Amino acid sequence: MSEHEHGAAHPPAEEDVLPSGQIYLVGVIALVVFFVGSVAAGVGMKAIQRQQNPEGPALVPHEGGQGKIGIVEQRLFEHSNMGPTWREAAHQRLDSFGWVDREKGIVHIPIDRAMDMVEKGAHP
């Protein structure tokens, strides 16, 4: 058959070949550029740090070892006992009698007793 007999047939497809050597080369070049850029950034940051603070880092202030400086809590939460202390005080108040406002005659009673009274229909 001649070319004229095929009419508008498509030419044969090319073989799928990936240029793996070129892909590896681009990857290696990218890694080298990244590494060189990282080193350059680190060196530049150190140079700026020396320029900004030639005497080195500032000394730790004498308040540094204290648990609280001003109103700022410095301790880690797991080393602070404020949560358990507050919770114990709240439980103690919920389980006790006491005055809320002595002049107005308002008292607080244990929470269990108050719930029993409300369940039985008592009103304040």
Whole-structure pTM value? 0.37
Instruction: Check whether 83 has a pLDDT greater than 80.
Output: no
Q: What is the mean pLDDT of residues 83-97?
A: 86
- The pLDDT assigned to 69 comes to 67
Say yes or no: 115 and 76 in one domain: yes
Report the chain's mean pLDDT, rounded to a whole number: 83
Amino acid 42: pLDDT: 97
Greater pLDDT, 14 or 95: 95
Whether residue 94 is contained in a domain is answered as yes
In a domain, 63, yes or no: no
Considering only residues 105 and 78, tell me which one the structure prediction assigns the higher pLDDT: 105
CA angle 38, 41, 44 (to 5 degrees): 150
Q: What is the pLDDT of residue 74?
A: 66
Which DSSP category does 67 fall into? S
- The answer as to whether 8 is a domain residue is no
Domain that holds residue 49: 19-55
Residue 62 placed within a domain? no
Domain count, the chain: 2
Can you name the residues that pair with 106 across neighbouring β-strands?
101
Q: How far is CA 111 from the centre of its chain?
A: 38
66 in Cβ contact with 74 (< 8 Å): yes
